[in-house]
C-alpha cells in the first residue's frame, strides 16, 4: 500500500480522505503537476515548481506550502514508497468551504487542499513505445481557453484519449482553427530535415516543462527550432513526429489519421533527442 501526503500528513492511501465540499471535487477548482522520477531522483523539479506557482497565481490561489518544503515532501514520498522509476502526482485545490458556492471562499478561513501520491513505473525510461512509436488521431480541440494553466479539468482530454482508443490508436492530437494545438496530455512536434517545429506558446497550450528542456537541447545540438502552428496535413508530410511530456519524455509518433509519418517507424532525430533528454536530465536530477 502506498504512503501518500495529504495536508501535512503522511498516510496510508486508504486513510487519506477529502471533503465532499472540496472545490476540486465540485468545480475542478484545482491544479496539478506530474514530476517523473528516474534513479530515485526528481526530474526537473524546479521547472514543475515554477509552473505550479504560476498556475496558482493565475487562479488567485494561495500556496499551502513553501517550495523548499514541497521538494522535501516529494523526496520523502520517493523514499517511503521506494520509487526508482515512476511519477509523483501533486494536486492543490482551493479547499473545502462549508457549502457549495460559486464565490471563491475566504482564503483566511478555507485552506487549500494539497495531495501528493507516487506512481511506481519500473521501466518508465525503457518504454517499448519509444521503439514502436505512437499512432494518433486528430480531434477538434474543445477544451476551455486557458490551457496554459494546468488545471484538473481533464474531461475533454480524457474523451479525446478514449476516441483514439476506440479507433485502436494510442492518442489524439487536438486541432483548433485548422492547426494542431497539442496532444491529449503532451506537446506535439514535427521534424523536417534539421528543423523541429512545435506550436508557439500562448493560452492555447500547456507550457510543457519537457518542451522547454527539449527545445534547449535541440538548439544546443545545432538543430533549428521553429515555434509556430502546423496543420495535420503538414504533419503527415513531415519526416518525423513526436510528443513530449514529463512521464513519456520524448516519444515518437509514426502515424497520424491512418497516414504513416516518414518511414512509418521512429526516426533518427527523435531517437537522438530522447537520448539527449534522458542523459542530461538524469545528470541534473535531484
| Residue ranges binding ligand PMP (CB under 6 A) | 34, 182, 185-187, 206, 208-211, 244-246
Read off the C-alpha cell for 195: 528543423
- What is the smallest separation between the CB atom of 21 and ligand PMP, expressed in angstroms? 27
Q: How far is the CB of 52 from ligand PMP (least distance, A)?
A: 11
> And the C-alpha cell for 120?
511506481
Q: Is 159 exposed, middle or buried (0-12, 13-18, 19+ CB in 10 A)?
A: middle
Contact 29, 75 (CB under 8 A): no
Our CB check for ligand PMP shows the closer of 104 and 156 to be 156
SS3 of 223-268: the string is: CEEEECCCCHHHHHCCCEEEEEECCCEEEEEEEECCEECCCCCCCH
Which residue, 96 or 250, is less far from ligand PMP as judged by CB?
A: 250
Q: Let me know if 169 is a catalytic residue.
A: no
| 138 close to 255: Cβ distance less than 8 angstroms | no
Closer Cβ to ligand PMP, 113 or 187, answer by number: 187
**Cβ of residue 174: shortest distance to ligand PMP, in angstroms?**
8
For residue 243, the minimal CB distance to ligand PMP (Å) is 8
Cell numbers at 252, concatenated: 515518437
Nearer to ligand PMP, 212 or 223 (CB): 212
Classify 168 as helix, strand or coil: coil
In this structure, are residues 38 and 14 in contact, taking their beta carbons and an 8 Å threshold? no
Set 150, 169, 219, 283: catalytic member: 150
Provide the annotated active-site residues: 150
Amino acid at each position: 500500500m502506498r504512503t501518500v501526503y495529504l495536508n501535512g500528513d503522511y498516510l496510508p492511501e486508504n486513510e487519506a480522505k477529502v471533503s465532499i465540499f472540496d472545490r476540486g471535487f465540485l468545480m475542478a477548482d484545482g491544479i496539478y503537476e506530474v514530476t517523473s522520477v528516474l534513479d530515485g531522483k526528481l526530474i526537473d523539479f524546479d521547472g514543475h515548481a515554477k509552473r505550479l506557482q504560476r498556475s496558482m497565481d493565475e487562479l488567485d490561489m494561495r500556496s499551502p506550502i513553501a517550495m523548499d518544503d514541497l521538494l522535501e515532501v516529494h523526496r520523502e514520498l520517493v523514499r517511503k514508497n521506494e520509487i526508482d522509476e515512476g511519477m509523483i502526482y501533486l494536486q492543490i485545490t482551493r479547499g473545502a468551504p462549508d457549502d457549495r458556492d460559486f464565490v471563491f471562499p475566504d482564503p483566511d478561513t478555507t485552506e487549500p487542499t494539497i495531495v501528493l501520491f507516487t506512481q511506481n513505473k519500473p521501466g518508465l525510461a525503457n518504454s517499448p513505445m519509444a521503439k514502436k512509436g505512437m499512432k494518433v488521431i486528430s480531434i477538434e480541440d474543445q477544451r476551455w481557453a486557458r490551457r496554459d494553466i494546468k488545471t484538473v479539468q481533464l474531461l475533454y482530454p480524457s474523451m479525446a484519449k478514449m476516441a483514439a482508443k476506440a479507433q485502436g490508436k494510442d492518442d489524439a492530437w487536438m486541432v483548433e482553427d485548422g492547426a494542431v494545438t497539442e496532444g491529449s496530455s503532451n506537446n506535439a512536434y514535427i521534424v523536417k530535415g534539421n528543423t523541429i517545429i512545435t506550436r508557439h506558446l500562448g493560452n492555447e497550450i500547456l507550457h510543457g516543462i519537457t518542451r522547454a528542456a527539449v527545445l534547449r537541447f535541440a538548439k544546443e545540438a545545432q538543430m533549428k527550432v521553429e515555434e509556430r502552428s502546423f496543420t495535420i496535413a503538414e504533419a503527415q508530410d513531415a519526416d518525423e513526429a513526436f510528443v513530449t511530456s514529463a512521464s513519456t519524455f520524448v516519444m515518437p509518433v509514426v502515424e497520424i489519421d491512418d497516414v504513416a509519418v516518414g518511414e512509418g517507424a521512429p526516426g533518427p532525430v527523435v531517437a537522438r533527442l530522447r537520448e539527449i533528454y534522458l542523459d542530461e536530465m538524469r545528470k541534473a536530477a535531484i
